[in-house]
Structure 1
Amino acid sequence: MPTISMFYGIIIRMYCAPEEHNPPHFHAYYAEHTATIDINTCELIEGSLPRKQLKLVLAWAELKQEELKANWEIAMNSELPFRIDPLK
């Protein structure tokens, strides 16, 4: 699962597989925490992150939503998604 962005100790990854389940989503990792975020709604689907890190990830997802949607399409064609600028 390629890393598409990293910021403030948070790693953002997306699977590259046509059989990956809907809705379009990405995975966020922080220390021992893992969360799955819906790209269309920018909401937590599964898992958990500390409150501060979750707010950062959701804000980043809203800012980068179009790039995330494009990456999802690329990943569903079994191609490597591109890197997305981190939250600054």
Structure 2
Amino acid sequence: MPTYYTIDGVKIQLFFNDHVPPHFHAVIAEHQVLIVIDSLEVLEGSLPKSKLKKIVKWAKENQEELKELWELHRKNE
């Protein structure tokens, strides 16, 4: 599971062979959340509120790059 970014201590990861909808994993300590790239909604899991707010803000600013990374992973299944 490659870590592409670390935002305020939260690892941003994408998996090969992962399920749809296109999403990324944000992981810190015992917390993990899956966030849908297009809508930036939480698919499952949780993060502390302050961390989640920063991750969603970052993801909004980097949506196109996240979409490209997702497509790259899907092509390399």
Give TM-score scaled by structure 1 length: 0.83
**8 A contact 2:3–2:12 mirrored in 1:** yes
Deviation, 1:25, is: 0.2
Which one has more relative contact order, counting CA pairs under 8 Å at least 6 apart?
A: 1
Q: Over aligned residue pairs, what C-alpha RMSD do you find?
A: 1.1
Same amino acid, percent of matched pairs: 45
- Give the number of aligned pairs: 77
Choose between structure 1 and 2: higher helix proportion.
2
Kept in 2, the 8 Å contact 1:27–1:35? The answer is yes
CA contact (8 A) 1:16 1:77 kept: no
Gaps of at least 5 residues in structure 1 are: 80-88
* Structure holding more strand per residue: 2
* Runs of 4+ that moved beyond 2 A: none
Give the match for residue 36 of structure 1. 34
